[in-house]
Structure 1
């Protein structure tokens, strides 16, 4: 229907546009991409009216259809607009056990809400603790998953969820179950819910949360080359012991050893020290020996979050400690990569 310049003006035009948008019509290839047929007809009819065409409305409509059909073979490769399909979604298939490990690497730090970024290559999470002392970052490549569908035209999609609620939900499913998780997409935006389906067909939905309320921290560019590949079990046992006697872990490192100790004050006179030698350390490079102190509670939580037999610890005096490890992907592709950062205790 052509635009009308009287009897309602802009309001009438807007009403007609909404009515037209509800019409059922196909999509046509045009200069600006995939465009509904009704829109092409209307724009063509408007052009005729603007040039002073005096034919009847039915004649104008026939011309518009003919013009749109003539333009159909002239397809361009670069488009400025794209229309999202109704079945657009992000869909993941993963084992229940691995998903629990992923969620636990976040939950152990006391982080309950995360903002997730997804694109055609996989998914990522980067979240900081409320006190801005510790940070966790996860990279989940599509090859690490049993199945990953990124069925949307958007270059990337962000959404946020409550990890505690999701952990509670998947804990109700049988152990070692295979889960399919999907987020519907419309107009290149996540549509407010996460759908979780188990292998036996049980389906549940949980609401997503407002993503804009969750900031995404920047990972500091730390130029540190000194590192040691440490055994997880011995490190975890060490942290389990010293957290009873001190709130600060003193880590000293040189070319041959890494020593983790406590220095207690006040009424207690119990001090502990655990030495990691070359026999414990799989790989090591230390060019600047030194020492640094970190909060015991966070180090202990990170130790509990490590789900691999070994991890890489990067150290430098007065710098954050960086802990890197991988979650084994049973899909046979790349592993899920996890990074922890923890700010040091600075003694003035």
Structure 2
């Protein structure tokens, strides 16, 4: 009896004093942060102050020299759980399809099909992405016309008008694809427009330069280092013509500068570089009628080729069909 009490007291003293109240001997050690506590109130206080959930970090690095049978067994169980999770994902029907292969709503499917006909690679994100939630791009199916949501980023705004960065952001929810860029931007530059008057201090440099001196740059998508690359757009061309041959994620983002060079931190690229990150598309040419017939009858031809290997045999005789068929199946299985 005395030995058991001595053992319990020794194990308790091994933890030292409670690190929360410092008044009693510690009885518990947090599995995650290893803070020593003496009671449940102290445990709750340490969780609240340190934001600790009390769950052991199963991926925490432990030197090999310090690993015990407990750590080895924990790692083994963790790997088993990972294996079961991976196997369950393989049988989950929701995981069988990638984003591009999922069944799109009718409206989005029409938009992507219409964009493809215009040589625009339109990529639509999943519903929980903020860019998808903000997108107001509309396809007028009857007129066959896109009304794009366009994000305008006016670069190099005056220093006195800067707040956090030197770019002013404006958004137009419905921009007609058949309108030129210069006509779309006129409401921000022409001082006779109400929008231009309201943001005169912010867009003073662009309004002073005039529409003819402005340059437009489309932020690149689907290429290497897309965060620092952009395409030069033509102000005299329509929005649809400028987007042709480009990859657009939900809606276009266009920089507007009063200089002939890209905005700070960006470099210009050509449309020919657009498919750098894309996998090569293998196009299949439509074969003539004769090859189609041969492909459709391929098993039958293999069967008769094997049958013709038997010299002196008449492959047209029905009694030999079973023998030839068995040979054919054996050949296919091998």
TM-score, structure 2 normalization: 0.21
Question: Which fold has the larger relative contact order, with Cα–Cα distance below 8 Å and residues 6 or more apart in sequence?
Answer: 1
More helix by share: 2
More strand by share: 1
Specify the structure having the higher radius of gyration (Cα).
2
